Structure 1
């Protein structure tokens, strides 16, 4: 049930406390129960000391729980016709001092309200009617002008000039604006044309997160947010936004370019406009994913716009912070880099599975490797613990050279599981992979891991990298301190017997002896596997300092018979009931096509024979 705030009572209490501080209480004169949501947000932001007094000395306000009770997409910003997911997020944006918990019952929540695209139009269209001080999609207040139909009355009765969409839309009883112009949610105004001079932002119907929002479902198998009818990504976490996803499936998000060169309007794009098929995290944003599934999302390329804007089929972390726990990222696709995930911020992946994703590279920079079927990391930090990365691939398909300087137009798709590029893209960074299993991936360079970066910035410990196809399991540069790993074909980079590593070569690869891929996202070790009891306990303890009990990917107790096993699975640990198991993969032996009804992406095919 939505908590209703008595603004008049808040104002009276505010004036009382201001007086007790000896301050001028006239700042709130004239405000009553009609005190606007925008005004209250400013009040909350600017008066934390006074609010502390109002909340009995507790700085943190109690979270507000919003229970979504309709599955259809609505954006009127209230619960009069039922509370939709979009409504709940609009409401959450009005009070940045609080955390909002949005509860979803079992069912499919279809996002359908198409709005304005992340384009900046450079040419004026129509006759302008000025609006002032509207905060654009980049979070900066800017002067914008709006074209209004002659027969359309421009009102701001319900519109809020908040941190996202333009205010000043028609919000009269006719509801021509398709809903509330809240702090970041998108809505279309069919009788008006936004855009007029430089830097005007037009946006689509993804769900912007500018405040602290936690979305909790019943179970990822039955609580689904679907964007197949939206034609956009699902969530866009802005600067300062904090989004937590728990027990939910996110599917069929899509970012794409739709305009050809030329035409009456010249388009330019926000950086990384097409990145993050399901979720994009901007600088200073924070995303936490717990016990959830992100599947069948696409970051698409139109063949015209800069391919640098197209990364991360499921998640694109652009200088933000991301934690992924006990979750599955599967069957996502990028048409440039990072089939599952793109990262150049801070990212931790724990007890999870990155399965069946594809970087289907349609463009390349000459003499530079593109790809990263599971993950493309280009700066910042990446820590992977107790995780399986399998059945991903990086390939060239219908590519076109970008700024070719080499007449040979050499092009490579690399990093079937992970492509680490700390040279061409992000500069300094670090990658730490501990007790993880990286198998059955495919690429023409570095079928498991391809590394282009600082020797000291890449550290792999207690991990299996084997059975990958198309090229050696590892290629590139690896830190000399990588230790206690099992590498099928070490390619001379990780050497058998050095630092406790077990490594083979091109003619004698080491078989890790793995069982059948499990629906929960892991490969069991078979009896007699060389990975059993050959890890180093120190490494798992170093990265699990906050865990009272060391556990494997399934949540079972680690270290049986004295030594930890190499990889994400602990052999013989079945004596304890599983905890924190990632949700099972339905149709675990099938790669499901991503949403490609736009005609740009190519569907996944049954490439692997499971």
Structure 2
């Protein structure tokens, strides 16, 4: 090794002496080509240093050709010294010269003439000019000057004298005190180059131009400390922040975001994103002579006009939509498109991903299956549609995705959207047929739900009645199952129990009616799991043993909210037979019958009645309403008008726990004493059963009115079974229904610009909402038209304090707080201010534009717009203008309709 090192050193010294000798004796030296070596990607930095030194001594045109893909990490700065007439050309071939965050990469002394092509100069560190410091003649083409840092001037390039010509190059992510990318104190010409992501602590994050600086077809953007400081002569260039006197639209220049992509390639460059301000905005006449390609090696002019910056956009290919849904059995269309050079044929490759298997769908082009993951554009064609045909299978599947990603397109860039995701929505839980079995049936939907480990929802499409015959539907899913009925009738066809809910299952049924089921236990439902019925009805079912409507086993938890169990029959527990836990909230048990006992309810477990009504049930033997054989907790409820051989309303069987508070048991059964614990006995004065789910209204004078306890209302219960407020007149009623006396409201509108009433101009339409005070779901919401005196009447309201929000179609909204009492109420509104032509609850220049477009027109004319006719006189004129002007910039109250 020592001998080898000695030989290398000896040769270098010998070559140096030879050159010096030639110079001394006047014999012309020959042009030299140096090729510093590279091993496994690591360049011979010492050989490179020697080559630069020797080239500096030679007055001929010397070339240093770096190894492609190689990184030369320097141990000292490469200094090109001045010597009369010398010219050094450094050909990078994509190689990297690194200062190792310790040294400046290049110094070009005064008198030296250096050309650098296809090189990455990075990681330099110095006081000034960490990438290059030049006072000579410097030409840089197709190169990248990046990630260099100085404490002074010119993080990437510092030009203290001489000239700089920068062409098709990128200066990125450099930093300095002044001129983070380039600091020019002499003469510099930047042609089709990009300065981006550079930073300066004082000024000129991208460029500090203190000498003579020319920008042609160049981009300076994304800088910290300002894009450009000083003065430049710029043509067809973009300076994002508009520094150095660059004005948008002057001399073809632009300001604003050029939409650069992240650095890519080697030497690194920024591609232009789709829609970039720089695309086709350069000037072909400003391209330096001989430049035919961009930094990436692609044609310098595409689509007829050169782009600004180092990179020429080649056009874009993309795919749309970015996301869409399709149902099983349906079709979705994915569109591949291109912009830019459309005159050539094009093949675009894409990849497939997602959770769906190829068997779930077929991709078609022109009706035929695609044989490969490619789409072909003919000449002049800008878009190609691919149709995804999705199969409709019966087996249970969750939602699946198909992801198509554009991967390659020769001579084109990827557009803003290059990935399209289509979600195949499973219809395995959608009931589409009324029949008992097969594809689209409720039975198949339940089977599919059982197969899914997740929470599932069954819905119905195109059917009003679903029949279940033969065997019951067994719900045994691992997650929860919600059945969104939306009024569906599920009919047991007098052949089977409709549902059996297994012990592990959690089931919620919303707005369903279960009818005509029959079974041994549970005519409609046999529950061993956790079952909740909301706004639902169980009627006309029967059981040979227990639970004509529902049988709740010892492991079952059953909750009924705003629901009705009616007209069912069984041996015991005509409506419900319970051995587990049953809770009824705002619900009604009526018209059920049992042969032995518990016409409405037979309880051997735990029964909780909250604001519920049990009435008109019957049993031959015992407990026409309730057969109490377990734990009974009865609050704010009514048990009345039931019939039985023994204990009409509530029959206690043995020694059991009964806790009754603020409830009415008509015959005093189950130990209820009038006046004790807020309880009552006697006739509750129930009206006829009505509504769906059915309920009993309270008649005027009922002893159940205002006789409940607000403290016993379950958390979250804010309305009664009908949807009225659960508390009216300060105290809750007993039973599922909240009584409200007739409450009327007369609203007198106060309008602008009208003649005295009565007059047709007062017959305005307004949107009114009556909401809970302070916000919440409106009790009343809709459009109402006043009479010719501007009066609107509202019936069947409830006493209480509310927010009333009112807005005309072209007025600002007003928000009033009103307290309604039984009988008549009158509200005169605040002035409804006119001028909101676009109904946005504000009066702005947009409303003025609508008025101006219709000004001078009247009803029947083409330009007439009723939204600009603020005073209702069938014409748009100066009166309407005056109303708008008076309210200009005002904003309505209440934040708009929710």
After TM superposition, the score normalised by the length of structure 2 is 0.34
Q: Which has the higher contact order (CA 8 A, sep 6+)?
A: 1
For the pair shown, the structure with the greater C-alpha radius of gyration is 2
Which one has the bigger strand percentage? 2
